A and B are shown apart, each in its own frame.
Chain A
């Protein structure tokens, strides 16, 4: 891992203006993605993880407003870059996206290879034949036979379509690939194969990857560093070993309790009571406060600011100093289900 950040984001906020008032989908998010690493964003539905990447790629719907202090990509300031230039020089060429339900993102009436050729030729001046050669190479990288290029999407299985989308994302050697739930909805064996493929690609072409998923097991296996997102904020951010071995934030503790592992058959799972927050109106408390068994008075009136625990380990919690004892308490079901 190099120490130079490919992507630097500081204080990113996204709000959607709706008739019910502004929805603060993403608040005060800051992170770096370094060269050659997989950065994971874990969170449940509605936590703002998809909005965050849409904001980075300028794909927000018209009522979405993005404000930030810094979005810097390889030295370019992405906040001030005109849309035209962004689309031509950055999108796809430098930052590409494997969208959620990528399986259904291919145009059903065009051959798979032709769609990738089109993407290549939209950004790079080259002949159709050169582009086709490139597609054949890409198919090889993602583990598809080159002669499948002239098939239609319906002739592909779900896993093959997913691999074709990954091939398309790799087409122009981008420095950063964003993958939004790349294996959700795929069968276990297919998922295993695609994850293995993604790891291989990362080693081979030295791109950075942002991986977004709700599946903590996938995050654990794939990522170098992880951010846990809740209510539009990064609640905890750490290297994956640190996050799994010394989690600090109560939400992270809760998620770990709630997630089954095949290596612990029959172990008790503990759910987190309550519901995710609505995010309408101004945010004046910790978003996890209503569900948190360790809340104190201050949590309801003030938003916690990031606290650095160790190098590259940050959390937003007023009780970060007591993490050790909270971690012990969080193991018991009574902590989560009786205090409320």
Chain B
């Protein structure tokens, strides 16, 4: 059974004009449709990568799964039980199972806490174990992320390098013994030479401690190195999902093709084909129905502007794209 299941989930944000605008100018309330009709499963022990540009809804999706922002429509199930409507103590207890690793290790650690207290904060707040038990578990996890507890326990974040800080961030997520870890661009603030070390660490810990991971990034080369499965989003819609290698080597959706074609390649001989898409990404305010990529898509026709094809998520190994025009796309196009 899937660990998480999102059923037709929407997340809309209201833009309510001020009183004067509403009364005098009759400006209507508008909606940002950050995530629309999303169906998704997260299996046990898998790393699901979510790729997309800014504003595609990847962070909103994470917030919904982490229970930090309830969906405005649809249901989220965790081990078969509905969790999107949890409140109070039940929600608090559920949150333990889903932990986040944040993007910026320079901003996400409390500068006045020592490393030990940063990592111990979660278990203490939840009173998971008696203080001595927390102590041994914090030491365990610090050791597991490669920070020797004796040396690092009493340090403050400003005494650590970026890589060490991100390791503390990983430790404080994992000390809760979560079943799902959400990592939102955890490498983007780190130097190239140490990124691979953090990736290895995360992958190794996921296997060892059996948690599933949602890894969000705009960098497809990094996702290509950690994910088992890849979801590509565009302006709040899931456009393609499938096993990693299939999606990257044989992308189906015109947007995925353009996105993968645009990733720079560390090879001076490589000559990049010119992408066939036009225009800029729109803002998801009161979007028209249909596929949101249609205005930029060279293949779009009337059907694309009318309805959006959702993805069928019953089989996690199934590689599929939410596109009406798949047959019209030939392999030599980008």
Q: Closest CB of chain A to B193's CB: distance in Å?
A: 4
The answer to the question of B244 belonging to the interface, with a C-beta cut-off of 8 Å to chain A, is yes
Any B CB within 8 A of the CB of A75: no
- Considering only CB atoms and an 8 Å cut-off, how many residues of chain B contact the other chain? 44
- Whose C-beta in chain B lies nearest to the C-beta of A240? B268
- Residues of chain A lying within 8 A (CB to CB) of residue B191: 44-45, 214, 276
Judging by beta carbons under 8 Å apart, are A262 and B263 in contact?
yes
Chain B interface secondary structure, helix, strand, loop or mixed? helix
Contact A262 B272 (CB under 8 A): no
Q: Is B220 an interface residue (CB 8 A)?
A: yes
Residue of B nearest to A224 (CB): B268
**Given that A258-B192, A275-B161 are contacting pairs, would A241 and B268 also be in contact in the complex, using a CB cutoff of 8 Å?**
yes
In the complex, the chain B residue whose C-beta lies closest to that of A215 is: B264
Residue with the greatest number of chain A CB neighbours at <10 A, chosen from B193, B198, B275:
B193
Shortest beta-carbon distance from A312 to chain B in Å = 14
Q: Which residues of chain A are within 8 angstroms of B192 by Cβ–Cβ distance?
A: 44, 214-216, 255, 258-259
What's the nearest-Cβ distance from chain A to residue B216, in Å?
A: 14
Looking at the complex, which one of A215, A244, A266 makes contact with B267 (CB distance below 8 Å)? A244
B198, B219, B221, B264: which contacts A220 (Cβ < 8 A)?
B264
Chain B nearest CB: distance from A211 CB in Å?
12
Q: What are some 26 contacts across the A-B interface (CB < 8 A)?
A: A157-B281, A160-B280, A187-B218, A188-B218, A189-B259, A190-B53, A191-B264, A192-B261, A196-B274, A221-B270, A221-B272, A241-B268, A255-B193, A256-B266, A258-B195, A259-B192, A261-B265, A261-B266, A262-B248, A263-B265, A264-B224, A269-B195, A269-B200, A271-B195, A272-B194, A275-B163
User: In B31-72, which residues have CB < 8 Å from any A CB?
Assistant: 53-54
Is A254 interfacial (CB-CB < 8 Å)?
A: yes
Tell me if A265 and B244 are in contact (CB < 8 A): yes
Q: What CA separation (Å) do A21 and B260 show in the bound complex?
A: 47
**Are B262 and A244 closer than 8 Å at their CB atoms?**
no
User: Cβ of A260 < 8 Å from any Cβ of B?
Assistant: yes
The proximity string for B residues 102-136 relative to A, scoring 1 for CB distances below 8 Å and 0 otherwise, is 00000000000000000000000000000000000
Assess whether A159 is in contact with B280, with CB atoms less than 8 Å apart.
yes
Minimum C-beta distance from B319 to chain A (A):
14
What residues of chain B lie closer than 8 Å to A189, measured between beta carbons?
53, 258-259, 262, 275, 277, 281
Say yes or no for B249: interface residue by CB 8 A criterion: yes
Question: A159-B280, A265-B249, A271-B200 known; A260 and B264 CB under 8 Å?
Answer: no
| Interface membership of B245, Cβ < 8 A | yes
Contacting A at CB under 8 A, from B190-210, are: 191-200
A265-300 interface code vs B (CB 8 A; 1 in, 0 out): 111011111011000000000000000000000000
Of all chain B residues, the one with the shortest Cβ separation from A251 is: B193
The residues of B that contact A265 with a CB separation of less than 8 Å are: 224-225, 244-245, 248-249
- Across the interface, name the chain B residue whose C-beta is closest to A187: B53
Contact B258 A258 (CB under 8 A): no
B262-A260 in contact (CB<8A):
no
